[in-house]
Amino acid sequence: MQSQLIERAKALLADGTVDRVLGWKAGEFAYDMTPALFSSAQELDEGFAYDAFCGANLSKYLVKESRKGGRVLAFLKPCDTYSMNQLLKEHRILRENVYLIGVPCQGKTDVETLRALGITSITAARQEGEDLVVETLYGQRRIPLAEAMAERCKACKGKKHMIYDERIGEEGELENPDRFGQVAALEAMSSEERFAFWRGELSRCIRCNACRNVCPACTCEQCVFDNPASGVDNKAAATSFEENMFHIIRAFHVAGRCTDCGECSRVCPQRIPLHLLNRKFIKDINTFYGEYQAGEEAEGRTPLTAYTEGDVEPSVVYTKGGND
Amino acid sequence: MQVNEGFKPTIVAFCCNWCSYAGADLAGTNRLQYPADVKIIRVPCSCRVNPLFILRAFQRGADGVILCGCHPGDCHYTTGNYYARRRMTLLFSMLDYLGIERERTRVEWVSAAEGVKFAATMNDFVSTVTALGENKRLEDLRCKAN
Ligand code: SF4
Ligand code: SF4
């Protein structure tokens, strides 16, 4: 697969379709695959990689790259194409300056997921059929891909690309995973239990802002979290209130636009399950305003920039009986 | 309803300029009673209220926050309250999900002619929040130091 991508990128560079390539290359270790730009066949040969660790969603980089002149080639996995569409919908990417190649994906792993399975000192990993074969300093480990996959890939929306100029590999199928089971389980708890659960999670936040920085839905040039007058600017939370506030506002600002790509949970150094916040909004939007998948299309209104006269009243929340 | 002896909640009421603030005015000129613990903040439209305003009110010591605007269909700016309705529904649901008591938030549509409804709404909301007691789960201790 990797060599196929490199060959195609070289051809497009050679015929002048694009003048640079956005892909992935290994960082310090084999498992920290990092987004990278390549501008020559030689650079591609030396650095370009596509493997089970290439989870990073490249679409957000195109916000800036598409404005630098010339034309850039980007490789997008199926889930990344939702982010791409959403960015196009918000007029954040200059479409004519990007060339998109849809690449197949069988699910990605990451070092934390492997660590949790007791696999450390990783030097390389490759997919072989339904298995992930991991080379470590202590020898080889073979695990079923289904187990090794990152959380978000277990809830994959499907292997179908929403947008591309060309595609490598067969067209994939949409899937219908259970994305809301964990949210429903939390909803079923009592208010006290939920409060305790979220205190346990959110109090670990170190406000590194990685979740915001990586999010393809967070592309405002001036973010509320950088505004000193907002009281929520870039600093470690001083109280539990600030922890809650950051997370409520972060999730709210992407409500209706979050494609559930899972990047925020992937990059969080504290392993905070941010997807449980985003998916709560997605679940509510589906229930209250009808099924909606952000990024399915590059046009149209998002749920929070639309309304119907018969929308439910907010009282649906505070008058519901039950678990207090 | 159970009453918390001696506890007087702080209530912040965001009222839109065109309907609900006028409704509050009417309640006043008609000498209708509602608790003085309700602090009214006038906003140009219910959709001016950013989720941060609601959170900030809790931070600064509110025990309950209510948003009042024109009835759907009657917005001075035609559609503002429709957007506010969606935002508040989702925000309140998220607060509930985080384990913050859901009765601390409310939205009520009050027209300029509904002084009676305004007073009744506030009386009801104040007694609900009084029964809940002090806001502990979304408080900022630094703002309560004095
Ligand atoms: S990435 Fe994690 S630790 Fe960093 S700000 Fe986001 S939630 Fe907090
Ligand atoms: S909030 Fe998280 S899951 Fe949603 S679009 Fe942003 S990074 Fe992706």
In a domain, A262, yes or no: no
Closest of A6, A122, A16, A14 to residue A75, by C-alpha: A6
Which of chain B's residues have a Cβ under 8 Å away from the Cβ of A230?
52
In a domain, A101, yes or no: no
**CATH classification at residue B95:** 3.40.50
pLDDT of residue B145: 63
- Cβ of residue A213 lying under 6 Å from some atom of ligand 1: no
Quick check: helix, strand or coil at residue A130? coil
In a domain, B91, yes or no: yes
The answer for A 28-67 residues in CB contact with B (under 8 A) is none
Our count of domains for chain B comes to 1
Span from the CA of A264 to the centroid of ligand 2 (angstroms): 5
In a domain, B19, yes or no: yes
What ipTM does the predicted assembly reach? 0.93
Domain range for A117 is 109-148
Q: At what angle do helices B80-97 and A275-289 cross, to 10 degrees?
A: 130
In a domain, B64, yes or no: yes
C-alpha A197 chain-centroid distance? 24
pLDDT of residue B143: 84
pLDDT of residue A323: 54
d(CA A230, CA A199): 23
In a domain, A278, yes or no: no
DSSP single-letter state for residue A273: -
Q: Does the beta carbon of A282 lie under 8 angstroms from any beta carbon of chain B?
A: no
Domain range for B92 is 11-136
Sign of CA dihedral A125, A126, A130, A136: negative
The yes-or-no verdict on residue B2 having pLDDT over 60 is no
In a domain, A5, yes or no: no
H-run or E-run covering A192? helix A191-202
Contact B94 A195 (CB under 8 A): no
Write the burial class of residue A97 (CB in 10 Å: 0-12 exposed, 13-18 middle, 19+ buried): middle
Span from the CA of A274 to the centroid of ligand 2 (angstroms): 9
The yes-or-no verdict on residue A172 having pLDDT over 70 is yes
In a domain, A135, yes or no: yes
In a domain, A126, yes or no: yes
In a domain, A115, yes or no: yes
Which of chain B's residues have a Cβ under 8 Å away from the Cβ of A198?
98-99
d(CA A241, CA A191): 17
Q: Which residue has the higher pLDDT, A222 or A24?
A: A24
Alpha-carbon distances, residue A83 vs A34, A263, A272, B48 (angstroms) = 18, 11, 21, 28
In a domain, B36, yes or no: yes
d(CA B71, CA B81): 8
Our count of domains for chain A comes to 1
In a domain, B48, yes or no: yes
The answer for B 53-112 residues in CB contact with A (under 8 A) is 55-56, 58-59, 72-73, 79, 82-83, 85-103, 105-107
pLDDT of residue A127: 85
In a domain, A173, yes or no: no
